[in-house]
Amino acid sequence: MSGMIFVNTFVQDVAASRAFFTSLGFSFNDTFSDENTACLIINEQAVVMLLAVPRFKDFIRDDVADLSTAREMLLAVSADSKEAVDAMADAALAAGGSDWMDPQDHGFMYGRSFRDLDGHVWEVTWMDPAVASGEATPPDM
């Protein structure tokens, strides 16, 4: 089975979130975006729907998570290099995001994480292509 993945999450300010992610180099599908929704393109098979809280509540039975005390998910995106990981994380911090955890460097895998404007955690990771393709075995972490 294959198909697209649509991650749906809530934001306080759709326009501000759109500007934040645009500054990180992401683009949006305007066909599925309006004043209450921004369709953030991760790649051809994955998008994140950034929904204003009232619109997000149309899709759930309970309440939104309190991100000051809990995590509802971790969103991870890959990068082409360690430098690209740093560039995206630094851009997020410059655009108003905040650090979440210390960088993780395992040699064959490197990542950093940040909170977006609403407190959702995003991880940016790079993995040695030989390890990612199965041509090499990762050392014990």
pLDDT at 141: 55
Strands 5-11 and 46-52: parallel
Is 83 part of a structural domain of the chain?
A: yes
Q: How does DSSP classify residue 108?
A: S
Whether 140 and 77 map to the same domain: the answer is yes
pTM for this entry: 0.90
> For helices 14-23 and 82-94, what crossing angle results, to 10°?
140
Q: How does DSSP classify residue 73?
A: -
- Residue-range definition of the domain harbouring residue 16: 1-60
Whether 83 and 26 map to the same domain: the answer is no
Is 67 part of a structural domain of the chain?
A: no
Whether 8 and 32 map to the same domain: the answer is yes
Whether 22 and 84 map to the same domain: the answer is no
pLDDT at 1: 67
List, in sequence order, the alpha helices (H) in the chain.
14-23, 53-57, 82-94, 129-132
Q: Which residue did the predictor score with more confidence, 140 or 121?
A: 121
Whether 32 and 79 map to the same domain: the answer is no
Q: Please report, as a single letter, which amino acid is at residue 38.
A: A
Whether 55 and 82 map to the same domain: the answer is no
CA distance 47 to 32: 11
Per-residue pLDDT at 66 exceeds 60: yes
